[in-house]
Structure 1
Amino acid sequence: MISHTSLQWQSSDWQSILQTAIRDSAELLQAVGVPQSSLDTITGETAGFAVLAPRPFVARMEYGNPKDPLLLQVLALQEEIAPNAVGTTDPLEEQRFTPVPGIIHKYFGRVLLMTAGTCAVNCRYCFRRHNDYAQNILTPARLNEALTYLRSQRDITEVILSGGDPLLTSDRKLSELVAELEAIPHIQRLRIHTRLPIVIPQRITTELCQRLGQSRFQVTLVVHCNHPKELDVEVGLAMAQLKAQGITLLNQTVLLKNINNCAATLETLSVELFKIGVLPYYLHTLDPVQGAAHFAQPMGDSKQLHQTLQARLPGYLVPKLVSEIPGGASKTLIY
């Protein structure tokens, strides 16, 4: 159920909240009252992927619970660097679908524009945790090159802002980018993939909502929420502001062992998302990224779990169970 635990952050602006995010495993455990002896942790630096957890997100964790599903998504554990850990640094082979820096063009008619090189939270299962964003971040010169590419590819009808998290871009710069895209006639839709409205809902400002609402594009915002405990009053208010501007709201979830691989948890998530105007979209199987194998579960279990969801929920609340296979023409549906 939606809680009130993050109301303490109501008066803070999102940039200040980001600056005070927790960036160390020991500090994170102390903040949630979990002894370091309860979990075999490592520092983010040792893992090669720093700990980063905004305090509004941390405030939703159950104090004293070392198995809290929000905590385990962001805490660096020894399992990430186990000798028998499997996975690759580029599980989706995105490098071979990068025609120019900042663009990933895998599917017909739509492209990803890598708008930011960092996130507001470092999820330990992130499939881009090893990505060298410095090679693709949109400097002014690279943005011009990316826009030139978009103008030349007249079959592109949708641009997806991704990263990193595109909403780490300021309202002013984001507005300027949207205006550049609006000037390309064959682009009809804008999609934004972001976790910020979940982990720092204060990022959804009046200015941002109004700019997206005024766009000539059909705008879709896809949030990333994995567990019903991630939803609170502030998240609901953020979604309401976006919805008031006519923005389509969807959610994608990653299926994670010991986090949300439970039919009751996913059923509650779908119901709670719908209450705040967000439709379930995708339920992703884990991408085989190096350092995240401990989150994976057998495919057979995933199929059975999804079948249970289909039996319990109306069709519009059942996210599509998908995997992403490099070189595929789309996401691969799993039945």
Structure 2
Amino acid sequence: MKLTRALAPVALTGALLMVGCAGGGSANADASGTDCLAEGDASASIKVSGSVGDDLKLTSKTPVSAKEVQRSVLTEGSGDVVEKGQTVQTSMTLFNGSDGSVLQQLPASAVTLDENQLNGWAYEGVRCATKGEQIALAAPYKEVFGDTDPAQSGLEGVTKKDSLVIVMEFGEIKDADEAAAAAGEPGTLSDDELLQKAEGKAVAAPEGFPEVELAENGEPTITIPKGLKAPDKLKIATLIEGKGEEVQPGDRVYVNYRGVIWRTGEEFDSSWSRGEPIDFLTTGVIGGFQKALEGQKVGSQVISVVPAEDGGYGAAALKQQGHKADDVMVFVLDILGTVHADDAKASDEK
């Protein structure tokens, strides 16, 4: 089960799933005022016992079947709804709705509410969270795993016809800088501290790289030349040389990026398409991203051509994402800002 988008590690991380809220002490809408996802008969039937993410058991009747994602509140929370950029401690248990068997128990971990970094179902699960709230979700397999073959999902005994039951419990909610400091991570930058696009000296890419054309706002269009063979080794080139701070290992980096599949030329992920940049630690992403960013300067634009087994996600993970096992990914990244890892260490020492 992949909770995050393509930039994040593929390995399963403790967190969240999908939808919104009900009445009482829980929220009816997220912090922006958008209604939480409504409950349905399937989610309303869920009853559990035990601790979420540890030894939770499904005690209500099975099978549970849902044609769309549903959500019900099992235990009401209190306090403010999580806001964009904040983190919320989230534990989760995943059940097979066909027989109630436990598929995964995920202990509490900090999840950042960021639509750009979470899959759709994960974002829907977190955006209405309040402290102490416990929710039950019922969803068809496809809403969580898409067209991924169940054999590739890592979950035994599940078929595409099954529904999944997800119980989530939310704990402490913290602002991004507070959470980062607690974790010993670099702080964050506000939008007005970021560049709008890469800026600096343009540099021609070496032979064998895809073609990149930029719109006036800096948004890249990536074209794979006809007949050009995809490489089997990671290839990185600088397209614009920035003049800002140098990105160091472990830094928090803000980038706008577009990713296409070499074989088809089709976009599979893009912060440009979502309308805002993304931030992450250089040590928390695939090698094809980390190596493309570390040592570069803010303002630079970099192209990274990433084979599955050299800086990429690996064949199995690519198949899980709906691609072919040997697909090569092409990323164009604008580096808009960075916060050094050393800044966090210095703050801790004060």
**Does the TM-score normalized on the shorter chain lie above 0.5?**
no
Higher normalized helix content (fraction of residues)? 1
Higher normalized strand content (fraction of residues)? 2
TM-score of the pair, normalised by structure 2:
0.24
TM-score of the pair, normalised by structure 1:
0.25
